[in-house]
Structure 1
């Protein structure tokens, strides 16, 4: 059946008793969305306003938090509309676009975390060369690359999916993520190979690079007592964010491939964790663990009180 001439909409089948708890779902998720926007943008504004935070490390943190806002905005408005709608549906082109935004911005997070790890490596292991290596031009190149490279790779996967014929029009989920592949009549080998390449280049290699750089930092910190406190203060937040995001990504990537027949409530809870934890986790970690940001936040709240 050709969806373009017969069926144009995909039904989200992952909602649990949405007609019964629609207003509760809406209020909770709307509150979470407002918290995500306000908490992330607050720290971004603090970094932009205060000149002592105009350093590569804090610029990368601001980029990561902006990424969280963009990712949430790609998901939450549609999700909130679905909670109040009689039918939870989306057109297939719109579904592919949401899928593209979801994985483009998610992949950008790994690239940004890699750049942040490199920045910490240079700062701690080669402090004298740090101003020369991390110049403004190079920082801008890193930021642009962290968004453009994942966009190019993810767009290729989206175009391959767009050419595939779909035979199923019910999606076992509440958003268009990797489960979109289950809609296709036949899974092509080319698409699987390309997806594996994208997974390796956007997730596996960045994670290995991050672990390698922090391993080197750990060795230097062990040898030089003077940098231990500095390394722990600046590297621990990045590692916590990496661990949290890697665990959520692993679940999202493995879910459609394992094809586990898990209960709907379990799928819903796990998906909501992906949508809630990471965007809220980042500003909390960086706001509390990064000393300079924490000091500015404390001053801001004191003025408000």
Structure 2
């Protein structure tokens, strides 16, 4: 649908497939995933908050990660559920930009939170004797605050550049709103948007470099250290690396799909992979950390046992 240069009142999400009665099965699957995500993340947040022995930097960073999983899921799943049952896949412009805020803020917080967790593991493994001095509670609180504050400042600036754009179309070829897809619809020059987007992306690349540096140092210590040091590194770093790779894979594909022509990829596969970084990390992170970290696993069992005894 081509339009005159204007600020469009709504967008059409063109990636939805007419599945007939199958949409009700999709609805049940998506609803089940959302219930599992909310339940598992809330459980681990409650466990960490209620158990004083888990008020350590590593678990507080995990709590921040789980809160972000709920934040991102809330910005996506209820919207998906409504769209799956709808025959007309449109979304108002204000709600579209609100969803962009949720999705982009979630992605940024997820990435920076994982970077902070890399830094925490680097200090714990490379400087075990000085760890408590290098990572006091004040520093932990500051890092968590910065993890959330930076995206909550950067993403509104990004949106402030996108909202006033005069658009010559209103079709977004995705199942949710995406800022880059909106910018591509602009009739006029988007140099400022592109420069800011590039600057923000560069800041995230610097985070990637920091994560790589942290793990290079950790690996050096592991190879030169004792068997006990290696075991500690493996037990605490494996879930974090799995989370990092899981999120990075999904986010990288979504970026590639937005920037390049992916018409050769089947539509159903493109939909699945575009949703991957928004659905799989919130689903798998609680399971990975809950199963791999013994303190969380034991605390979860105790909490569930106590709740069962009340009834």
TM above 0.5, one fold?
yes
2:194 paired with 1:192 = yes
Q: 1:10: which partner in 2?
A: 11
C-alpha separation in 2, matches of 1:100 and 1:3? 22
Q: 1:84: which partner in 2?
A: 85
Evaluate the alpha carbon distance shift between residue 113 and residue 275 of structure 1 in structure 2; reply closer, same or farther with a 3 A threshold. closer
Evaluate the alpha carbon distance shift between residue 231 and residue 135 of structure 1 in structure 2; reply closer, same or farther with a 3 A threshold. same
Q: Deviations over 1:263-289 (max 9, x none)?
A: 422222222333321111111110111
* 1:91-170 alignment runs, 5 A limit: 91-170=92-171
Deviation at 1:302, TM superposition (A): 5.3
Q: 1:30: which partner in 2?
A: 31
Q: 2:48: which partner in 1?
A: 47
* Mean Cα deviation higher: 41-50 or 52-61: 41-50
Q: 2:270: which partner in 1?
A: 267
Which consecutive aligned stretches of 4+ in structure 1 deviate over 3 angstroms post-superposition?
A: 298-305
The answer as to whether partners of 2:47 and 2:303 remain within 8 angstroms in 1 is no
Deviation at 1:3, TM superposition (A): 4.1
Deviation at 1:170, TM superposition (A): 1.5
Matched position secondary structure for 2:183: helix
Matched position secondary structure for 2:167: coil
Length-normalised TM-score, structure 1: 0.93
C-alpha separation in 2, matches of 1:12 and 1:188? 22
The answer as to whether partners of 2:26 and 2:84 remain within 8 angstroms in 1 is yes
The answer as to whether partners of 2:15 and 2:173 remain within 8 angstroms in 1 is yes
2:243 paired with 1:241 = yes
Q: 1:256: which partner in 2?
A: 258
Q: How many residues align?
A: 302
C-alpha separation in 2, matches of 1:2 and 1:184? 8
Q: Deviations over 1:207-258 (max 9, x none)?
A: 2211111111111122221311111111111111001111111111121211
Q: 1:293: which partner in 2?
A: 296
Deviation at 1:297, TM superposition (A): 2.6
Q: Deviations over 1:124-153 (max 9, x none)?
A: 211222222211211111111001112222
Length-normalised TM-score, structure 2: 0.91
The answer as to whether partners of 1:181 and 1:187 remain within 8 angstroms in 2 is no
Evaluate the alpha carbon distance shift between residue 294 and residue 148 of structure 1 in structure 2; reply closer, same or farther with a 3 A threshold. same
C-alpha separation in 2, matches of 1:2 and 1:30? 38
Q: 1:215: which partner in 2?
A: 216
Deviation at 1:162, TM superposition (A): 1.1
Q: 2:181: which partner in 1?
A: 179
2:76 paired with 1:56 = no
Deviation at 1:120, TM superposition (A): 1.2
Evaluate the alpha carbon distance shift between residue 229 and residue 187 of structure 1 in structure 2; reply closer, same or farther with a 3 A threshold. farther
Unaligned runs of 5+ in 1: none
Matched position secondary structure for 1:167: strand
C-alpha separation in 2, matches of 1:200 and 1:281? 28
The answer as to whether partners of 2:166 and 2:186 remain within 8 angstroms in 1 is yes
Matched position secondary structure for 1:220: helix
The answer as to whether partners of 1:16 and 1:268 remain within 8 angstroms in 2 is no
Deviation at 1:301, TM superposition (A): 4.9
C-alpha separation in 1, matches of 2:95 and 2:114? 29
Counterpart of 2:282 (choices 272, 275, 279) is: 279
Matched position secondary structure for 1:142: helix
Matched position secondary structure for 2:232: helix
